[in-house]
Amino acid sequence: MKRFWIINLVLFQACWLCAAFLPSALSAPLMVTLCTIHFWLSPSRREDAIILLLVPLGLVADAAQISLGVFSAGDSFFPFWLVMMWVMFTISLNHSLGWLNNCSVTILILIGAIGGTSSYWGGMKAGVIEPLVASHIVVLSLVTVWAIVVPTFVHLRRQLMQSAQQPNPLS
């Protein structure tokens, strides 16, 4: 499916809207449904499943900021909607965010610093993320984390996809 990136983009944005504007009891099943639709329609299920190995890195990035008291993401320590956002972000690297694979490290740092921070800032404005320190500290933390996350994820995605293409010597 040549134009699957459009479907992925719509599903990714729909997940963000669910997380930002719906109560957890409603957003969680909707986000799982949207992710299921992604995998059902995806022309690259295997690659999408492989890239999910990166999700724990994103969870650690957010868990560190939550633990350090930069922001809170709800009543529970780590809400399910945030896990699902990392799932959708990660698999989007194979589709709607696939263009990042052709960017230099400098551009990836800038995109991460601006794009990732903007997404979280939108989450704060929507009320699903609560800043726990001064705004400039939250922004500095997010800029730093996302300037590292995006190039790291793109690099690791390349490594995972190269490994997936190599024949298994044990078979």
pLDDT tens string, the chain, 171 residues long: the values are: 679 999 999 999 999 999 999 998 899 999 999 999 999 999 999 999 999 999 999 999 999 999 999 999 887 778 999 999 999 999 999 999 999 999 999 999 999 999 999 999 999 999 999 999 999 999 999 999 999 999 999 999 999 999 888 776 665
Burial class (CB in 10 A: 0-12, 13-18, 19+), 96: buried
Phi-psi region of 92 (alpha: psi -120 to 50; beta: other; left: phi over 0): alpha
Is 169 within the bounds of a domain? no
Is 170 within the bounds of a domain? no
- As for how many domains the chain has, the answer is 1
Structure tokens at 60: 């650690």
Range of the domain at 11: 4-164
